[in-house]
Chains A and B, each alone.
Chain A
Amino acid sequence: DAGVTQSPTHLIKTRGQQVTLRCSPISGHKSVSWYQQVLGQGPQFIFQYYEKEERGRGNFPDRFSARQFPNYSSELNVNALLLGDSALYLCASSFYQSTDTQYFGPGTRLTVL
């Protein structure tokens, strides 16, 4: 079975632009979470969606938004990009939303110039 997939792999944007990152969960998984990982740190939780509803939000500004589609895939949108948004963005899926093990995708590396 295919694991979690993310696209694109790499992305270069300039300050002020907008970006959309995409994630497809493992087949059968209904929960998708998004994380930001800056260099030298652990992943920071951004959003969790379960059954197409937002079930958790981390301490990120309103420039960050996400949604989950009927097929359980998800998009993360970031508006008005700042240099500090440069990071590895990781998507993880699990069957349920609680302590179910999350399986991560390969990530999207975003560089903001």
Chain B
Amino acid sequence: AQKITQTQPGMFVQEKEAVTLDCTYDTSDPSYGLFWYKQPSSGEMIFLIYQGSYDQQNATEGRYSLNFQKARKSANLVISASQLGDSAMYFCAMRPASGGSYIPTFGRGTSLIVHP
């Protein structure tokens, strides 16, 4: 069984500063993908960044980077230069890539509030 743990229910950050959102996972699948999504109050899930379990380098997408530590089973999201529009819920998710079952698992989310 897969499990995603996001231990920070809420985070606060000052505008223009960097923030790290934590995500740990547990899986027995040898191959998997890790995702981060942003969910504003409107409800739509917005894809941010993807990391494959066999990728050698940490993924980056603009101001978003994923700090992937495979041995520790962690996939933390780093947002640099926070903006007011970054205030939202953030979800970490995982999907196995082998075994014929691609059922994804989401964490409970972290609420991020960016202060001016």
A contact residues vs B (CB 8 Å cutoff)? 33, 35, 40-45, 48, 55-56, 58, 88, 90, 92, 97-99, 101-107, 109
Least CB distance from B4 to A in Å reads 8
Chain B positions within 8 Å of A109 at CB level? 43
Of A42, A45, A48, which is in contact with the most chain B CB atoms at under 10 Å from its CB? A42
Chain A positions within 8 Å of B97 at CB level? 98-99
Chain A positions within 8 Å of B46 at CB level? 104
Complex: chain B residue closest to A44, CB-CB: B106
Chain B positions within 8 Å of A44 at CB level? 106
Q: Are B107 and A102 in contact (CB under 8 A)?
A: no
Q: Are B44 and A102 in contact (CB under 8 A)?
A: no
Chain A positions within 8 Å of B91 at CB level? 42-43
Question: In the docked arrangement, what's the CA distance between A42 and B46, Å?
Answer: 13
Q: Are A42 and B43 in contact (CB under 8 A)?
A: no
Q: A103-B47, A104-B44, A105-B44 are in contact. Are A55 and B102 (CB under 8 A)?
A: yes
Q: Are B47 and A102 in contact (CB under 8 A)?
A: yes
Chain B positions within 8 Å of A107 at CB level? 43-44
* Residues 81-116 of B contacting A (Cβ, < 8 Å): 91, 93, 95-97, 101-109
Of B43, B105, B109, which is in contact with the most chain A CB atoms at under 10 Å from its CB? B43
Question: In the docked arrangement, what's the CA distance between A33 and B108, Å?
Answer: 19
Q: Are B102 and A48 in contact (CB under 8 A)?
A: yes
Least CB distance from B1 to A in Å reads 11
Chain A positions within 8 Å of B11 at CB level? none
Q: Are A42 and B47 in contact (CB under 8 A)?
A: no
Chain A positions within 8 Å of B4 at CB level? 42
Question: In the docked arrangement, what's the CA distance between A93 and B79, Å?
Answer: 26
Complex: chain A residue closest to B35, CB-CB: A101
**Which listed residue (A92, A98, A101) contacts B50, Cβ 8 A?**
A101
Q: A99-B33, A99-B52 are in contact. Are A41 and B108 (CB under 8 A)?
A: yes
Question: In the docked arrangement, what's the CA distance between A105 and B101, Å?
Answer: 23
Q: Are A42 and B102 in contact (CB under 8 A)?
A: no
Task: Report 25 cross-chain contacts, Cβ distance below 8 Å, ordered by A residue.
Answer: A33-B104, A35-B106, A40-B108, A42-B4, A42-B109, A43-B45, A45-B103, A45-B104, A48-B103, A92-B45, A98-B95, A99-B32, A99-B50, A99-B96, A99-B97, A101-B35, A102-B35, A104-B37, A104-B45, A104-B46, A104-B47, A105-B44, A106-B42, A106-B43, A109-B43
